[in-house]
Amino acid sequence: MPLLLVEGKTIKIYITIVILLIVHLQYRIWSEGGSLEQVETYTQRLNNLQMQIQAKKERNDGLYAELSDLRKGQDAIEERARYELGMILPNETLFQVLE
């Protein structure tokens, strides 16, 4: 039966149901779990996490490059031993400058 041919009381019930549904959905959008404020909070957290991921990827890339250098040759190992451990080769003299 077409909507126009329904009694006036039935149309009022349909309109009331639609209005209540719209009010309910608006309430959920603005105040509850799916609110716009919460979406903004989640977006900000996502952006922060993406920045942290990018920083960790860059750090990992540097560590992989350093690991590759250490595996390829003795020059990188010697350089780290000299600067980090203060080691010297035989017949070398270490001069330490204090500021």
The answer on 55 and 28 residing in a single domain is no
Residue 52 scores a pLDDT above 90: yes
Mean of all residue pLDDT scores within the chain? 82
CB 82: neighbour CB atoms within 10 A? Answer: 14
User: Quick check: is 80 in a domain?
Assistant: yes
Give the pLDDT confidence of 7-51 residue by residue, as tens digits.
Answer: 667 888 888 999 999 988 887 777 766 677 778 888 999 999 999
How many domains is the chain partitioned into structurally? 2
The answer on 83 and 57 residing in a single domain is yes
User: Quick check: is 40 in a domain?
Assistant: no
> What is the span of the domain harbouring residue 83?
46-87
Contact 59, 52 (CB under 8 A): no
